[in-house]
Amino acid sequence: MISPELELQDPLQGNQPVLERKRSASREWRAFWKNPLARFGVGGLLFLVLFTFAGPLFYHASAYQPNLLSTLQPPSAKYPLGTDSLGRDYLARMMLGGQLSLEVGFAAALMTTIIGVIYGLTAGLIGGAVDSLMMRLVDIFIAIPSLFLLLFVDSVFRPSAILLVIIIAVLSWFGVARLVRSEVLSLKRRDYVEAARALGATNWRIMIKHLLPNVMGVVIVNATFQVADAILTVAALSFLGLGLPPPTPNWGEMLSSSMSYMFQNAWWLIYPPGLAILLVELSVNFIGDALRQAFDPRLRKSS
């Protein structure tokens, strides 16, 4: 059984009290919020979340109802973002399409992070032949062409939001696993881990109590980039016609379908989804950069 004194030690710095660790975390979060990029990223992401999820509570137009008498109408008082080629309200479709893009992006990033963290922790802690075998499996999965797998899945299964989340997670967890494993290989040689093992702690207890808290900073930073990558992947798949089938809107599909009207001066079909994708990518990446600067001691010293 691990002694109470050992439980109160900080897994990052051995003998540092837990209270001091909490104060350090508070300083890091204050440093994060002082970063202008962090404030821009949080503000942009909050705007998009409110626009897509709270907007339909105040704007009650249908995103699916066609109106062939009002096709390709420019923005007006009746249609703030105009209409598409079937006369559907483009603002309503932007809101609904944003919900799908954000939900799939965040869900895929969460699943990717969970799988990668568990896999990387297990491989790094066990080590030896098991670690080598697990990493060779990662190399095999990385070698599989992503586009081939996407085409295969699209031809066999009917696309759905859940299927998109699973596909993106299956194609993305390898990098997280490698990152976490490299951190664990360094951390498991620390004195506090060796002391816990000498006192009879199991691998599971070492993983949860000592290694996981240590890698959480890296994991959180990486998760923000996973969100950005997942949202961009959803948009790219929809742009290539491998996303959800019509009439379900998402920003990538809307941008793809609007490209055929590029030379008809229908700018309201192109700019809104393109700018929305750009804003969410910038916001999430700015948050990730600010988190990395706040939690990485080397970057804090150089700034």
Which residue stretches of 63-160 are H helix? 90-126, 128-143, 146-156
Q: Which residue's structure tokens are 């959803």?
A: 234
Q: Alpha carbon 75 to chain centroid distance?
A: 33
Q: How much is the pLDDT for 40?
A: 92
pLDDT of residue 7: 41
Instruction: Decide if 270 is inside a domain.
Output: yes
CATH number assigned to the domain comprising residue 199: 1.10.3720.10
| pTM (predicted TM-score) | 0.77
The string of pLDDT tens digits covering residues 70-112 is: 888 999 988 999 998 888 999 999 999 888 888 888 898 899 9
Q: Is residue 258 part of a domain?
A: yes
Evaluate whether residue 295 is within a structural domain: yes
pLDDT at 6 (0 to 100)? 40
Residue 16 lies in a domain: no
Is residue 286, in this structure, part of any structural domain at all?
yes
Q: How many domains does the chain have?
A: 1
- Is residue 125 a contact partner of residue 203, using CB atoms and an 8 Å limit? yes
Looking at the predicted structure, is the pLDDT value of residue 5 above 70?
no
Q: Which domain holds residue 229?
A: 30-48+88-302
Mean pLDDT of 122-140: 87
Q: What is the per-residue pLDDT across 166-204, written as a single tens digit (0 to 9) for each? A: 888 888 888 889 888 888 888 877 777 778 777 777 777
pLDDT, position 22: 58
Mean pLDDT across the chain, nearest whole number? 80
| 220 occurs within a structural domain | yes
Instruction: Pick 50 or 211 by higher pLDDT.
Output: 50
The alpha carbons of the chain give a radius of gyration, in whole angstroms, of: 23
- 235-266 residue pLDDT tens: 777 777 677 777 778 888 888 888 878 777 88
Would residue 79 count as lying in a domain?
A: no
Torsion region of 265: left, alpha or beta (phi above 0 gives left; psi -120 to 50 gives alpha): left
236 inside domain: yes
In angstroms, the CA 96 to CA 102 distance is 10
